[in-house]
């Protein structure tokens, strides 16, 4: 699971010291997650103090999370090297003025992990340049994480599909308008194309938005069931727009079917015998307190299946278009980390054979590999003096 601390898409709320500057960039290869921008921070050589600070209006409770993740790139000071001593680092991050960590930066845009097992809340973050030159860094999407595999994979898949559904279809398929009072359990539409039982609609108007699912269709009068915002309207609407939605949901065995809808399946993993599980990864380079390390976890391959279901082929086409756009990117962002996905097999189309007793659908399958981070971090004690004794016989 994850908690988004800052999408790092807007310079609003950030302050730079002295003559430093901050701006937004839209270059895709320097954007983490499903965001449209990242932040470019420039620190000037002439400045004595080189900091960038943001204070959040409401503290983030991170008691249930153990890792802070964000992506970073440096224009001049990113190197592929081992970070072993303080002089190796060009930047540091301060959390709430209590904990400070060095930030390793590499030649590639890369995600950074910091252990926050001892942190209960985050109110302010400050990034400080430790060098004396002019340099720019790009930072993108900061999240707090507590790993829950495979749920994290399925949640990331849902987020990506929802992103493309929204990007390609906006609010949804406009069905018409409705005027109705709060408390009624049904609405009527004059031309309800594609809307039928189990359809999910969003009603937008007068500053209000509600989502309801259709229980029954009686000659253009649509009864609500108990799902989403319930079986009655919560607000009064006058000439409000009604949109057909394309909801996605994970392992939907416990849900009432949604038509149209996108179901996401995947639970059985395959161990990948590649890499050494005895290797350790160092992170959390705490200033004045050493760093941490943890043993690498097992690499697992998860097959994910996506079903696009509807009673009409036109709605299936709309949903599959979004799924194809997602898979074509070949990237899945899981809790701030970039993962490659691999299209698997041929999309399978299931057509109805007996009326509507058998719902038509189209199925896509892809694979994603993840490395478990289930082992606890341990402290690495700083070594300041090494004494060697040699006995001469």
| Segment 327-372, tens digit of pLDDT | 999 999 999 999 999 988 777 777 665 555 568 899 999 999 998 8
Instruction: State the pLDDT at residue 158.
Output: 98
Residue 146 has pLDDT above 90, yes or no: yes
Closest CA to 110 of 369, 337, 392: 337
Contact 352, 358 (CB under 8 A): yes
Q: Cα–Cα distance between 187 and 220 in angstroms, integer?
A: 8
pLDDT-wise least confident of 60-69, 271-280, 306-315: 271-280
Residue 64 has pLDDT above 90, yes or no: yes
Per the DSSP assignment, residues forming a β-bridge with 5 are: none
Residue 212 to residues 128, 166, 244, 286, 315, Cα–Cα distance (Å)? 49, 18, 10, 49, 18
3-state DSSP assignment of residue 99: strand
What are the pLDDT digits (tens) for 220-259? 899 999 999 999 999 999 999 999 999 999 987 767 789 9
Closest CA to 32 of 337, 329, 370, 340: 337
Give the number of other CB atoms < 10 A from CB of residue 369. Answer: 16
Instruction: State the pLDDT at residue 148.
Output: 94
Residue 127 has pLDDT above 70, yes or no: yes
Kindly report the backbone phi and psi dihedral angles of residue 161, in degrees, each rounded to the nearest multiple of 5, phi listed first. Answer: -65, -45
Residue identified by tokens 């041929």 is: 346
3-state DSSP assignment of residue 257: coil
Instruction: State the pLDDT at residue 393.
Output: 59
For the whole model, what pTM was predicted? 0.91
What are the pLDDT digits (tens) for 76-126? 999 877 787 888 899 999 999 989 999 999 989 999 999 999 899 999 999
CA 360 to chain CA centroid, nearest Å: 30
What percent of the chain stands above pLDDT 70? 93
Confidence of residue 374 (pLDDT cuts 50, 70, 90): confident
Q: Is 244 left (phi over 0), alpha (psi -120 to 50) or beta?
A: beta
Mean pLDDT of the chain: 91
User: If residue 141 lies in a helix (H) or strand (E), which one and from where to where?
Assistant: strand 135-145
More confident residue, 50 or 289: 50
Instruction: State the pLDDT at residue 307.
Output: 94
Residue 387 has pLDDT above 60, yes or no: no
Residue 219 has pLDDT above 90, yes or no: no
Instruction: State the pLDDT at residue 375.
Output: 82
User: If residue 314 lies in a helix (H) or strand (E), which one and from where to where?
Assistant: helix 313-329
Q: Cα–Cα distance between 326 and 286 in angstroms, integer?
A: 38
Q: What is the radius of gyration, based on Cα positions, of the chain?
A: 26
Q: Cα–Cα distance between 72 and 56 in angstroms, integer?
A: 20
**Which own/partner contact pairs does 277-286 have at CB distance under 8 Å and 24+ positions apart?**
282/83, 282/380, 283/112, 283/113, 283/114, 283/115, 283/377, 284/101, 284/113, 284/114, 284/115, 284/377, 285/83, 285/89, 285/101, 285/102, 285/103, 285/104, 286/99, 286/100, 286/101, 286/102
CA 13 to chain CA centroid, nearest Å: 22
Token pair belonging to 385? 């003096």
Instruction: State the pLDDT at residue 172.
Output: 96
Instruction: State the pLDDT at residue 86.
Output: 86
Q: How far apart are the first and last CA of the chain?
A: 61
Burial 274-286 (b: 16+ CB within 10 A, else e): eeeeeeeebbbbb
Instruction: State the pLDDT at residue 268.
Output: 85
Q: Cα–Cα distance between 268 and 16 in angstroms, integer?
A: 48
Mean pLDDT of all residues in 381-392: 58
Q: Cα–Cα distance between 228 and 190 in angstroms, integer?
A: 24
Confidence of residue 8 (pLDDT cuts 50, 70, 90): very high
Domains and CATH numbers, the chain: 2-145 (2.60.120.260), 173-245 (2.40.10), 262-378 (3.30.2000)
What are the pLDDT digits (tens) for 150-187? 999 999 999 999 999 999 999 999 999 999 999 999 99
Interior angle at CA 213, CA 207 and CA 214, nearest 5: 120
What are the pLDDT digits (tens) for 13-62? 999 999 999 999 999 999 999 999 999 999 999 999 999 999 999 999 99
Across 148-236, where does the E strand assignment appear? 173-180, 186-188, 200-205, 208-218, 221-224
Token pair belonging to 364? 């896509």
More confident residue, 64 or 275: 64
Instruction: State the pLDDT at residue 38.
Output: 98
Instruction: State the pLDDT at residue 355.
Output: 55
Burial 180-192 (b: 16+ CB within 10 A, else e): beeeeebbebeeb
Instruction: State the pLDDT at residue 381.
Output: 65
Token pair belonging to 76? 């001049």
CA 76 to chain CA centroid, nearest Å: 29
Contact 246, 221 (CB under 8 A): no
Instruction: State the pLDDT at residue 56.
Output: 97
Confidence of residue 382 (pLDDT cuts 50, 70, 90): low
- Identity of the highest mean pLDDT range in 51-55, 188-192, 280-284, 384-388: 51-55
Q: Cα–Cα distance between 113 and 67 in angstroms, integer?
A: 6
Residue identified by tokens 């949903």 is: 319
Residues 6 or more apart whose CB falls under 8 angstroms from that of 329 comprise none
Instruction: State the pLDDT at residue 321.
Output: 96
């Amino acid at each position: 699971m994850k908690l988004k601390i800052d999408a790092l898409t807007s310079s609003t709320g950030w302050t730079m010291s002295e003559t430093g500057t901050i701006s937004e960039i839209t270059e895709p290869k320097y954007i983490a997650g499903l965001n449209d921008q990242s932040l470019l921070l420039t620190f000037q050589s002439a400045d004595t103090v080189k900091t960038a600070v943001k204070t959040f209006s409401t503290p983030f409770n991170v008691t249930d999370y153990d890792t802070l993740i964000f992506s970073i790139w440096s224009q001049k000071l990113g190197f592929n090297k081992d970070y072993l001593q303080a002089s190796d680092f060009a930047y540091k991050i301060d959390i709430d003025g209590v904990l400070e960590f060095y930030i390793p930066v590499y030649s590639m845009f890369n995600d950074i992990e910091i252990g926050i097992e001892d942190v209960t809340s985050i109110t302010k973050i400050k990034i400080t340049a430790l060098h004396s030159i002019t340099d720019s860094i790009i930072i993108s999407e900061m999240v707090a994480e507590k790993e829950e595999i495979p749920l994290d994979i399925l949640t990331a898949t849902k987020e990506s599909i929802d992103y493309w559904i929204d990007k390609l279809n906006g609010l949804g398929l406009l069905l018409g308008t409705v005027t109705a009072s709060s408390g009624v359990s049904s609405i009527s539409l004059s031309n309800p194309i594609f809307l039928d039982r189990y359809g999910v609609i969003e009603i937008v108007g007068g500053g209000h938005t509600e989502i309801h699912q259709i229980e029954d269709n009686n000659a253009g009068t649509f009864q609500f069931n108990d799902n989403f915002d319930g079986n009655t309207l919560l607000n009064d609407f006058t000439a409000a727009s009604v949109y057909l939605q394309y909801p996605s949901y994970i392992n939907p065995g416990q849900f009432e079917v949604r038509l149209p809808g996108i179901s996401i399946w995947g639970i059985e993993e395959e161990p990948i015998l590649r890499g050494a599980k005895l290797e350790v990864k160092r992170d959390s380079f705490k200033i004045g307190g050493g760093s941490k390390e943890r043993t690498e976890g097992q690499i697992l391959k998860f097959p994910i299946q996506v079903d696009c279901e509807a009673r009409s082929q036109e709605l299936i086409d709309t949903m599959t278009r979004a799924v194809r756009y997602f898979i074509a990117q070949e990237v899945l962002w899981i809790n701030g980390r970039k993962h490659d996905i691999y299209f698997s097999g041929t999309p399978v189309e299931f057509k109805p054979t007996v009326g509507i007793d058998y719902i038509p659908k189209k199925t896509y399958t892809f694979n994603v590999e993840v490395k478990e981070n289930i082992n606890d971090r341990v402290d690495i004690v700083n070594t300041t003096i090494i004494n060697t004794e040699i006995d001469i016989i």
